[in-house]
């Protein structure tokens, strides 16, 4: 996701083969297939222009065909930003050709970046998968233009966080500053509000909110001032605030230690943290209303997988997305078996027990840890393999 909770799709021209080796019709079908997986949610496209040359450049006719396909409302409606990295004169010529056909509203979504460093403000740059060729070109570009570039602004030394800081600080810091409360205020308030007023909102967690509004609410929280979501009249705002809070944690909620275990998905990691039951129980309640909100456990996992866990260094690979999302889905589906205590730390009756529900296949393998109410595996959870096949 980008910094505003929107899914990010990247396209790298340097990966395109020569035109005579590429079936451009199949390329168009592949692009549509890829975008179709995201267009129901708000999303962002990052286009890396470096690598487009006379050998792999598509024809103007194909570009016109592609434009006709992607001008459909289904693709334009939820596209919130198009970032063009390393633009050239070719891009400017194309823009002038299509400009009469492009609405002013869509034109405002397009932003040009001459250097990769300019993406930092908008994306989690270190978690973005960028081809090495693009990285090398960016380094070369910066060194060539070093003399003509404006002098770099001096970055002030990092300030210590405010005593009331809520975003971008560790869970331990929040606990220390909130009289030992295990559940951080932002996490508690947003989840509670969404439970009370948002469970039947269609597309919950799939929509973004005004960037200005999100930043305003972050400032209020960081200054220790009260936030009343009723004042904003948009149930998607607390949902975005929750995703933003999780994404800006210095360490993911499910911890770095759990990352490799989750990729293996043969056992439940022992270090899920004491905050996880509170959040996952909220997801469970959302999924129980999926007939109204269209957000079942699978959809929630796709939205939150990478917001709950990421590697300590670099970006998650594409191959890691499946086990990360699958693990998140299992946490939601088998909440009462994994977090065997019905009450999370500091909270009562977080999720109603379902009468007559079947025992999950995790139960026999994961005895309860008395101190925290979490489950702790003693043997690999082979039933997860069967669950993976079922899903």
Residue 216 host element (H or E): helix 211-222
The closest of 123, 41, 33, 43 to 300, measured between CA atoms, is 41
**97 pLDDT more than 90:** no
The burial of 21, by beta-carbon neighbours within 10 Å (0-12 exposed, 13-18 middle, 19 or more buried), is given as exposed
pLDDT (mean) for 5-14: 85
More confident residue, 89 or 380: 89
Say if CB 104 and CB 135 are below 8 A apart. Answer: no
Domains and CATH numbers, the chain: 7-144 (3.40.525.10), 159-250 (1.10.555.10), 257-273+285-391 (no CATH)
Q: 């080796």: which residue's tokens? A: 21
Min mean pLDDT across 211-220, 225-234, 269-278, 321-330 is at 269-278
Say if CB 268 and CB 337 are below 8 A apart. Answer: no
Token pair in block for residue 303: 């939205």
Say if CB 107 and CB 101 are below 8 A apart. Answer: no
Q: What is the DSSP string of 12-67?
A: EGGGPPPGGG--HHHHHHHHHHHHHTTTTS-EEEEEE-TT--TTTPPPHHHHHHHH
Q: 């990352």: which residue's tokens? A: 259
Name the pTM for this structure.
0.62
Min mean pLDDT across 100-104, 327-331, 387-391 is at 387-391
**77: pLDDT confidence band, cut at 50, 70 and 90?**
confident
Which residues neighbour 327 within 8 Å (Cβ) at sequence distance 6 or greater?
262, 265, 305, 309
pLDDT (mean) for 267-291: 82
**336: pLDDT confidence band, cut at 50, 70 and 90?**
confident
Separation of alpha carbons 95 and 90, rounded Å: 9
Q: How far is CA 250 from CA 173, 319, 383, in A?
A: 11, 24, 33
Q: 């024809």: which residue's tokens? A: 59
Q: What's the chain's average pLDDT?
A: 78
**103 pLDDT more than 80:** no
Percent of the chain with pLDDT over 70: 77
Say if CB 220 and CB 213 are below 8 A apart. Answer: no
Residue 105 backbone phi and psi in degrees, to 5: -60, -45
What pLDDT, on the 0 to 100 scale, is given for residue 306? 82
**56: pLDDT confidence band, cut at 50, 70 and 90?**
confident
Neighbours of 55 (CB within 10 A): 11
Token pair in block for residue 249: 């944690």
Residue 40, CA atoms < 13 Å, CB-side half-sphere = 13
More confident residue, 391 or 188: 188
Separation of alpha carbons 262 and 384, rounded Å: 11
Residue 370, CA atoms < 13 Å, CB-side half-sphere = 0
Say if CB 199 and CB 144 are below 8 A apart. Answer: no
């Amino acid at each position: 996701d980008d910094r505003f909770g929107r899914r990010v799709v990247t396209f790298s021209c340097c990966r395109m083969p020569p035109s005579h080796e590429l079936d451009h019709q199949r390329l168009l079908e592949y692009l549509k297939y890829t975008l179709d997986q995201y267009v129901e949610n708000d999303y962002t496209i990052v286009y890396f222009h470096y690598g487009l040359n006379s050998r792999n450049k598509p024809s103007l006719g194909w570009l016109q065909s592609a434009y006709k396909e992607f001008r459909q409302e289904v693709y334009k409606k939820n596209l919130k930003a198009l970032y063009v990295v390393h633009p050239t004169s070719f891009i400017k010529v194309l823009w002038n050709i299509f400009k009469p056909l492009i609405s002013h509203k869509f034109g405002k979504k397009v932003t040009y970046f001459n250097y990769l460093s300019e993406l930092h403000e908008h994306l989690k740059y270190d978690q973005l998968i960028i081809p090495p060729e693009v990285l090398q070109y960016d380094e070369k570009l910066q060194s060539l233009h070093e003399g003509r570039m404006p002098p770099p602004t001096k970055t002030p030394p990092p300030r210590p966080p405010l005593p009331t800081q809520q975003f971008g600080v560790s869970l331990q810091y929040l606990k220390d500053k909130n009289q030992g409360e295990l559940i951080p205020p932002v996490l508690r308030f947003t989840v509670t509000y969404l439970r009370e007023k948002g469970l039947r909102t269609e597309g919950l967690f799939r929509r973004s909110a005004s960037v200005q509004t999100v930043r305003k609410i972050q400032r209020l929280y960081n200054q220790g001032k009260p936030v009343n979501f009723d004042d904003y009249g948009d149930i998607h705002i607390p949902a975005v605030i929750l995703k933003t809070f999780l994404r800006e944690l210095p360490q993911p909620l499910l911890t770095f230690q759990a990352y490799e275990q989750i990729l293996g998905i043969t056992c439940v990691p022992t270090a899920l943290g004491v905050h996880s039951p509170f959040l996952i129980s909220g997801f469970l309640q959302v999924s129980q209303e999926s007939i109204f909100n269209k957000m079942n456990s699978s959809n929630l996992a796709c939205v939150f997988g990478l917001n709950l866990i990421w590697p300590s260094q670099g970006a998650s690979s594409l191959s890691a997305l499946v086990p990360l999302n699958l693990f998140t889905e299992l946490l939601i589906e088998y909440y009462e078996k994994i977090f065997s205590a019905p009450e999370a730390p500091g909270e009562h009756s977080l999720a109603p027990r379902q009468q007559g529900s079947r025992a999950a296949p995790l139960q026999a393998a994961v005895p309860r840890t008395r101190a925290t109410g979490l489950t702790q595996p003693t043997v690999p959870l082979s039933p997860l393999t069967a669950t993976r096949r079922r899903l």
